[in-house]
Amino acid sequence: MRNEARFDLPRRMLLGPGPSDVHPRVLGAMSQPTIGHLDPAFVSLMEEIKDLLRYAFRTTNAFTIPISGPGSAGMEACFVNLLEHGDTAIVCVNGVFGTRMRENVERCGACAVVVEDAWGSPIDPDKVAAALKANPGTKVLAFVHAETSTGVRSDAAALCALAKQHGALTIVDTVTGLGGISVDVDAWGADAVYSGSQKCLSVPPGLSPLTFGPRAVAAVKARKTKVQSWFLDLSLLMGYWAGEGGRSYHHTAPINALYGLHEGLLMLREEGLEHAWARHARMSAAFVAGVEAMGLAMQVDADVRLPQLNVVKAPSGVDEAAIRRDMLGLADVEIGGALGAWAGKAWRIGLMGQSATPRHVLGCLGALEGALAAAGVKIPAGAGVVAARRVLDGA
């Protein structure tokens, strides 16, 4: 019988749109002994995770949990629980993930009214206001706060206020936002908000933090029909995550993954939300200074740009995929390609969580310069790193 060789993986600098680098503390936490998902010790850990997520989301919502699945599972949980056949949902689309929201609405048998904005632009509140006025009785307004496909931030507070004025619930995607920029669920008045573990929280993929406010919980309890997904039925999950006097079995939770989420959230609280947001902003400012010193340009305007997801235009005539392959193969630096209309024309470079450090900024700029120079692009030698260091040094 042949012995299989151990599967050894390379060490990469993860600077794509996710996942981000994972701290050894998180990996160490995940290596602790597995215990049962109804063990009293694990139930205590679940309570701590809920409290830590409330801190991260800036909410007092009782029903704040991690869904067992990636951010897409959190997205689907929101739609299948809040929408029933025949409901109307206004969906804001300004990138790939707004399109996925629309798909979820349609699969619920609900009517999707699409408010569309150009890639690279935030959601226009005036268009949303007009759509809400034209569609009285709308059940849900859904939008992406931090659009991963474009690196654009939209005004969540303004959009949530509009929905509330018209009696609609809000579903907010902040998969790339949580931990990297201001996310303030209670101040926004948001009803259902979901995120992902692998972006600015720097925990391995596979968990989707989610929070439901009182209006959203009431809507789940008032449903006339069963939720179309048994696994994502929050009325069942409430019995496991929020059961009083004992937890009811729903599914075997990803125990060791939750150890990792707990540690990642502890690290976020130790740093402090405001400090984490400031760190992401500073790293992005340094990176942009370096990019522009190299003669490159950013794809998104500065006033709506996400600091944790930077989209850089590829020079004309350059094979952007070849640049990414060169950076990965020779420097172990991973960056992402663009999607949709921007595919082949730009790079998506994530400075998220543990990947938002001076080492990552300077390493990326150096690897990008080397790959472009090898491809025949004239780049001022060392200019990017020097410009970034000026920002990092406070000059």
Q: Are residues 60 and 206 in the same domain?
A: yes
Q: Which residues contact 70 (CB under 8 A, 6 or more apart)?
A: 196, 197, 198, 205, 206, 207, 208
pLDDT tens per residue across span 259-277:
999 999 999 999 999 999 9
Grade residue 249 by pLDDT with cuts at 50, 70 and 90: confident
Global confidence as pTM: 0.96
Q: Are residues 183 and 124 in the same domain?
A: yes
Q: Which of 269, 302, 319 is the last residue of a domain?
A: 269
- Our measurement of the distance from residue 128's CA atom to the centroid of its chain's CA atoms, rounded to an integer in Å, reads 23
Q: Residue 126's domain is classified under what CATH number?
A: 3.40.640.10
Q: Which of 254, 269, 284 is the last residue of a domain?
A: 269
pLDDT tens per residue across span 15-42:
999 999 999 999 999 999 999 998 999 9
16 inside domain: no
Rounded Cα gap, residues 313 and 137, in angstroms:
42
Q: Residue 286's domain is classified under what CATH number?
A: 3.90.1150.10
- Least confident range from 32-41, 165-174, 347-356: namely 32-41
Q: Please determine, for residue 1, whether its predicted confidence score (pLDDT) is greater than 60.
A: no
Mean pLDDT for the chain?
A: 96
Rounded Cα gap, residues 57 and 252, in angstroms:
25
Q: Is 54 within 8 Å of 193 (Cβ atoms)?
A: no
Rounded Cα gap, residues 52 and 207, in angstroms:
14
Range of the domain at 327: 273-392
Q: Are residues 202 and 309 in the same domain?
A: no
pLDDT tens per residue across span 284-319:
999 999 999 999 999 999 999 999 999 999 999 999
Q: Please determine, for residue 2, whether its predicted confidence score (pLDDT) is greater than 80.
A: no
Q: Are residues 318 and 379 in the same domain?
A: yes
Is 345 strand, coil or helix? coil
Instruction: Extract the tokens encoding 193.
Output: 């908000």
Q: Are residues 196 and 307 in the same domain?
A: no
The count of residues in the chain is 395
Residue of 216, 225, 209 whose CA lies nearest to 192: 216
Q: Which of 251, 269, 287 is the last residue of a domain?
A: 269
Cα-based angle 250, 252, 255 (whole degrees, multiple of 5): 130
Q: Are residues 261 and 383 in the same domain?
A: no
Q: What was the pLDDT predicted at 243? A: 63
Q: Please determine, for residue 58, whether its predicted confidence score (pLDDT) is greater than 60.
A: yes
Residue of 385, 393, 390 whose CA lies nearest to 366: 385
The crossing angle, in degrees rounded to 10, of helices 214-221 and 71-82 is: 60
Rounded Cα gap, residues 11 and 24, in angstroms:
13
Q: Are residues 53 and 198 in the same domain?
A: yes
**Average pLDDT for 94-104:** 97
Q: Please determine, for residue 90, whether its predicted confidence score (pLDDT) is greater than 90.
A: yes
5 inside domain: no
Q: Please determine, for residue 363, whether its predicted confidence score (pLDDT) is greater than 90.
A: yes
167 φ, ψ (degrees, to nearest 5):
75, 20
4 inside domain: no
Number of separate domains in the chain: 2
Q: Are residues 210 and 332 in the same domain?
A: no
CB atoms within 10 A of CB 31: 10
- Our measurement of the distance from residue 272's CA atom to the centroid of its chain's CA atoms, rounded to an integer in Å, reads 19
